[in-house]
Structure 1
Amino acid sequence: MTDVHQMVEATSLSSIEYFKMHAERDLSFSPDAPVEVSPSYILTVDFQPDGERFRVLFETDIETTAGHISCGVAAEYAHPSVILRQASGEAISEFVNNVALMHLIPYVRNGVADITQRVFEAPLLMPIFQRGELNFDVLASLPKLDA
């Protein structure tokens, strides 16, 4: 069985790209009013049919008293298919939560700051997350890993 250290050694980051970016300001909101922020996060793992790649998609939706913001970023990873077939669900979950998520968060943070600067005339700065602070149940969405 493969552990997370073997996955890190055998897996390479192929690309990171935005797949969703949206902001909408409530024109009746007063710039002098306090802004309340309520974020929600969704993480999805998408295993490609070729068995050689998988994608981790991280979406952030933020409801505020001033409007709505959405940002989605995907990281694609290449790996030898034998590693994935042998990997335990726990190793994949640990890789996604502690490696992939740390790749994606800075992009989401930058995307949210950029789009809110343009739409709300001031950037919304997401907090800095420490590794492990955000954690997703990856095991429930994993395909059967046996070859």
Structure 2
Amino acid sequence: MNDLSAEDTDALKALITRSNLDGVQFHEIYAKINDDIPDGIAREDADVELHYQTRTSDSDFGVRVTVNVTSDSGNARVVVAAEYSLESGGAPEPTLLDLFASEVAIMTLFPFVREGIQSATSRVFGVPLLLPVLERGQIRSNTSAKGTD
């Protein structure tokens, strides 16, 4: 885990203070079972890819998280976005917005992503896939992870 500099920490705290979470919205929930899944799969490893995108304006910004899961049972995808309004100060710089996305927004959105993957795979695969624990600082840019809990 990378530690933040004092300057980064102060800038991030200032952005948190001047922004408000206006909403969380699912953009996509998808699961597709493979035609030839092995019988009796109860828990399985999966490849997990997590990506995020940001957008900004002078009055608001957003972070959208996409998680793709590939397993022996099939594929699942969840896309969730958080919308934030800005009280003052204008649009955050790209590096600060990226820091906010990886330190704050990902942690806000991950429970929604986890629930979406678990619910979709439970219904379609018959057994839910559980995403691994996400720890602070683990996501610094678009990333992939191996395995599920």
| TM bracket, shorter-chain basis | 0.7 to 0.9
Q: Percent identity?
A: 23
User: After the TM superposition, which segments of 4 or more aligned residues of structure 1 sit over 6 Å from their partners?
Assistant: none
Deviations 1:88-138 (A, max 9, x none): 44332221110111101110001000001100111111011111112216x
The correspondence of residues 1-147 of structure 1 with structure 2, limited to 5 A, is 3-33=11-41, 35-48=44-57, 51-80=58-87, 82-84=89-91, 87-136=92-141
- In structure 2, distance between residues paired with 1:22 and 1:119: 9
Offset at residue 81 of structure 1 (A): 5.3
What residue in structure 1 maps to residue 146 of structure 2? Answer: none
Please, what is the CA RMSD of the aligned residues? 2.0
The count of corresponding residues between Structure 1 and Structure 2 is: 133
SS of residue matched to 2:89: helix
- In structure 2, distance between residues paired with 1:125 and 1:95: 25
- In structure 2, distance between residues paired with 1:76 and 1:13: 6
Deviations 1:29-68 (A, max 9, x none): 12335734111111000224xx211110000011111111
Q: Given residue 39 of structure 2, which amino acid in structure 1 is its aligned partner?
A: P
User: Could you tell me the TM-score, scaled by structure 1's length?
Assistant: 0.82
Q: Given residue 46 of structure 2, which amino acid in structure 1 is its aligned partner?
A: V
SS of residue matched to 1:3: helix
- In structure 1, distance between residues paired with 2:115 and 2:73: 19
- In structure 2, distance between residues paired with 1:39 and 1:102: 16
Mapped contact 2:54–2:97 kept (Cα < 8 A): no
User: Could you tell me the TM-score, scaled by structure 2's length?
Assistant: 0.81
Gaps of 5+ in 1: 138-147
Offset at residue 27 of structure 1 (A): 2.5
- In structure 2, distance between residues paired with 1:31 and 1:71: 26
Gaps of 5+ in 2: 1-6, 143-149
